[in-house]
Structure 1
Amino acid sequence: MVDTINYNKIRDYIYEKTGIYIEEKRMYFFKNRVIKRIKKLALDNPETYYNFLVKSEYSEMELKKLISEITINETYFFREFPQLKVFAEYALNDVIKRKSNKYIKVLSAGSASGEEPYTLSIILKEMLDYGFDYKIDALDIDPIMVLKARSAVYSDYSIRDVPKEYLAKYFEKEGNNYKVKDIVKDKVNIYNLNLIEDETYEKLDDDYDFIFCRNVFIYFSDEIRKKIVTKFYTILNEGGYIFLGHSESINRITNAFRIVKANDFILYQKPSEGGANNV
């Protein structure tokens, strides 16, 4: 019983600091990850670990390491390709038709080790006509993943779904790995930021055409999701789109977005002025 109380205290502390909420059905997984950290630090039990996490001089560093343990960062280039095809062939064309300039801005929220933003960069290189330019801002709460993303070096596993012509065009071999070429990498800015903090949105632009936040909301409560979606609404251009993971939805927390169905995928579009409900 005492251990259970301390696991709950650790869970609540993570929620307070990061907005990441561990549901009861994931507590077994969570406890195993905490035990892994306890053993790594040679501590006695969840109580001593809680005190170390909250009160020690290493609290901030340990919180980052624990976050890295409990978030699933499994990703690869061109993941969920059918959805990316909808982005490239439907949503992108729709936004371009509305644009008064030739500059596309994308936000990749929860970008993990960088495969998603670099994939989007490749797609935009391929799809945009001459004269268009773009930039991609990517953020993740896990500093370890951010460092990996900035290095832009990936294993065979990560690049396994990259079309051969793109692999030759946009990657270079580096030992047994593959490095993203600067022509793709230089268009991507990667930040170690927390989606639930107001300061994050002060550092980001306020006119994105697309926001990708795929497989991120699974970690948050409805309260935190609503806060993030409200921020997204503010920084998204009218006519811009939000892309979520295939199992995610924001229907029950807001009716501010127009629901668009394209090739069996649900997209969320910010309506033009006067066409939206309140978030």
Structure 2
Amino acid sequence: MNSIEVKMAALLQEKIGLDPNVIGIREISRVLERHRVACNCSSLETYFHYLQTNKAEFEALIESVVVPETWFFRDGEPFNFLVRYINTEKLFHQTDKIKILSVPCASGEEPYSIAITLLEAGFKPHQFQIDAVDISQKSLQKAQRGVYTRHSFRGNYLEFRERYFLPITTTEYQLIDSVKNCVNFSMENLINFGFLSNKNPYHIIFCRNVLIYFDSPLQAKVLQIFHFGLAKAGYLFLGRSESVSQAEQLFSPVDLRERLFHKTGESLQPHPITPLVIAKTPAQRRDRKIDLLLAGLIEHFDLTAVLCDLAGNIQHTAGAVDRYLQFPVG
């Protein structure tokens, strides 16, 4: 990777938090070259300067580098928990409405799944508020349009498609307005400290399968932002291969298998914090490509597993490991 490619990767990390090791240096280089040619730039250096002054092109580059993979009711248990939580906590007796945040919302499948879950459980739209944010204008436009192909419908539970979607072609389905109107979409950058500073606290935040793309310091920063943005006793959902280990003083586990965490302590204005460092040697840093592979295997096979290094040190856990292992506190 030459110096200008290093600058490009650093720009992506600065603006959207993307760790270049996750996507891969070669892949980033290929994407940059493709966009350089498309923009008729004579060199990568010329394209780098063009990128800094052209917002539309930078958004297009993000779209090429980060391709969201999502579908309706992905990992069904968080949606089941949502209804149990509302009923158990009797939230509607304590507040005018329950507030839920989906971030990043990509093309809208997750926040719309949340809305359908609440409607199916008998709740009325005025009883809840669902905010959905993403950094991609293209993804937000697709979400607001509410048209999806069969790729967005997976698994055995598809009855909801008959109730809440209208077929508009042989391969496309239009979400009905009564569901679309339940979700508020906006463009935000997750890694900005001010992201949630002007919003009322949320009862639940869904942030699944994005922390895996960040390095440890940025994970710590984002978790602190979520802690600030959650109401007292609020809940945070992460992806199956993610954890709060970089800011574990802010959250306590509720269900490790489903990666559900409970806010602890009082909300404080976010500020940089030092993440947990397990080891200082470079050999302890796991390749993020392995993280992505693990995430896919865990989701596909519903695994319970412990990953160890050659010395027998635990590097990663997945699923209900608490059934078989007990870890010391502290």
Q: TM-score, normalised by structure 2?
A: 0.73
Q: Choose which of 155, 176, 182 in structure 1 pairs with 2:149.
A: 155
Judge conservation of contact 1:206–1:234 (CA < 8 Å) in 2. Answer: no
Structure 1 residue 188 corresponds to structure 2 residue 183: yes
Aligned residue in 2 for 1:96: 90
Aligned residue in 2 for 1:137: 131
Judge conservation of contact 2:17–2:218 (CA < 8 Å) in 1. Answer: yes
Aligned residue in 1 for 2:116: 122
Q: CA deviation at 1:30?
A: 1.6
- Structure 2 residue identity aligned to 1:136: I
Q: Percent identity?
A: 30
Aligned residue in 1 for 2:48: 50
Judge conservation of contact 1:208–1:236 (CA < 8 Å) in 2. Answer: yes
| Alpha-carbon separation, structure 2, partners of 1:98 and 1:260 | 22
Which consecutive residues of structure 1, in runs of 5 or more, have no partner in the other structure?
none
| Alpha-carbon separation, structure 1, partners of 2:184 and 2:22 | 36
Flag the 1:155–1:26 CA change in 2: closer, same or farther, 3 A.
same
Structure 1 residue 174 corresponds to structure 2 residue 168: yes
* SS of structure 2 residue aligned to 1:179: strand
Q: CA deviation at 1:132?
A: 7.2
Q: Which has the higher contact order (CA 8 A, sep 6+)?
A: 1
| Alpha-carbon separation, structure 1, partners of 2:51 and 2:111 | 32
Structure 1 residue 70 corresponds to structure 2 residue 65: yes
Within-5 A mapping of 1:8-23: 8-23=6-21
Aligned residue in 2 for 1:270: 263
| Deviation readout 1:88-133 (Å, 9 max, x if unpaired) | 44x3434436951252110001100000100111011122557971
Tell me which moved more, 134-143 or 27-36: 27-36
Judge conservation of contact 1:241–1:269 (CA < 8 Å) in 2. Answer: yes
Structure 1 residue 38 corresponds to structure 2 residue 36: yes
| Alpha-carbon separation, structure 1, partners of 2:201 and 2:87 | 17
Aligned length: 268
- Give RMSD over aligned pairs: 2.6
Structure 1 residue 227 corresponds to structure 2 residue 221: yes
Aligned residue in 1 for 2:233: 239
| Deviation readout 1:229-263 (Å, 9 max, x if unpaired) | 2121112111211001101111233311121126x
Q: CA deviation at 1:213?
A: 0.5
Aligned residue in 2 for 1:259: 253
Flag the 1:273–1:44 CA change in 2: closer, same or farther, 3 A.
closer
Judge conservation of contact 2:134–2:187 (CA < 8 Å) in 1. Answer: yes
- Structure 2 residue identity aligned to 1:96: K
| Alpha-carbon separation, structure 2, partners of 1:8 and 1:24 | 15
